[in-house]
A and B are shown apart, each in its own frame.
Chain A
Amino acid sequence: MSTRRSRSRQSTTSRITDDQINDLVSKLQQLLPEIRTHRSDKVSASKVLQETCNYIRSLHRDIDNLSDRLSELLENTDPTQASIIRSLLTQ
């Protein structure tokens, strides 16, 4: 069973502490675009996870939309790679 497997894995390696999880969750929280509560610390972990899922979904959507637009734009222009890289780097 998968739960038995995951439990035995936890007992052979060191037990994942709450502190470790909290550190990672706060690190994740810093990557998220907005902090909905007025206090930046002590946001609940499940809220951070939920915001993370939403954020990843919105980033995926952004990539889909940008791919659509890029494919349209690429059809019309014939890019010279050097000039594009130059303009990208000077932005």
Chain B
Amino acid sequence: MSPQPSSTNPNSLKIQLAYQFLHNLNNLNSKRSNLATTHIRQRSNRVKIAAYASMAYVVGSRRAWSRAILRTIRNRRMLARNKRVDHKITHRPRSAKRRNPKRDYVDPNGNSGQEVKLRKLVPGVEKMDACGLLDETADYIKYLKTQVEVMKNLVDLYSTI
């Protein structure tokens, strides 16, 4: 597993993500024995969380976005253990909402508007400088693309069984 994104074989990445995703899905099925009776919304939410978790586990703590996702998942687990339901965290994992979301990061090109939007979309990049932000975004997109491919393959597979 090479740390440089440009030299990572895309197929091996896809296989890693596939393994991790199936592992997470399997955990979902075994942990919740009453999965069939839970609401479709909750099931779909759990699959979605498994998807983001797979991406984050494969990357580990190497990237700010994966660290942010792992943090959100651990928070969610701690809350579930304390038998409290926090609906905010069951949605798509985001970095924790700051009290003052309107920061004026202006990069040399003056793209403050787009940059702010990008910081909201990529987890874990709120405090990063412009270079780090772009780097994290590229990495995040790469993993998102591969995860979507894995899920599409799975859907095709299950549809034909």
Nearest chain A CB to B8 CB, angstrom units? 13
Bound-state Cα–Cα, A20 to B135, Å: 11
For residue B114, CB closer than 8 A to chain A, the reply is yes
Q: Is the CB of A88 within 8 A of B154?
A: yes
B1-35 contact mask (Cβ, 8 Å, vs A): 1 or 0: 00000000000000100110010011001000001
Residues of B within 8 A of A (CB): 15, 18-19, 22, 25-26, 29, 35-36, 40, 43-48, 51-52, 92, 100, 103-109, 111, 113-115, 117-118, 121-122, 129-131, 134-135, 137-138, 140-142, 144-145, 147-148, 150-155, 157-159, 161
Contact, CB under 8 Å: A87 / B157: yes
Per-residue CB proximity of A55-77 to B under 8 Å, as 1/0? 11101101110111111111101
- B140 near A56: Cβ-Cβ < 8 Å: yes
Tell me what chain A mostly uses at the interface: helix, strand, loop, or mixed: helix
Q: Are B129 and A49 in contact (CB under 8 A)?
A: no
B159 touches which one: A57, A59, A60, A73 (CB < 8 A)?
Answer: A73
CA distance A31 to B130 in the complex (A): 18
A10 CB to nearest chain B CB (Å) = 7
Assuming the contacts A25-B134, A31-B141, A59-B148, asked whether A81 and B26 have C-beta atoms less than 8 A apart, the reply is: yes
A56 touches B138 (CB 8 A): no
**Binary per-residue interface labels of chain A (31-63) against chain B in the complex, 1 for a CB within 8 Å, 0 otherwise:** 100000000000001100110110111011011
Contact of B25 among A9, A53, A56, A74 (CB under 8 A): A74
Q: Are B109 and A21 in contact (CB under 8 A)?
A: yes
Residues of B contacting A91 in the complex (Cβ-Cβ under 8 angstroms): 153
- 8 A-B residue contacts at CB 8 Å? A16-B107, A16-B131, A28-B134, A50-B114, A59-B144, A62-B151, A66-B148, A70-B151
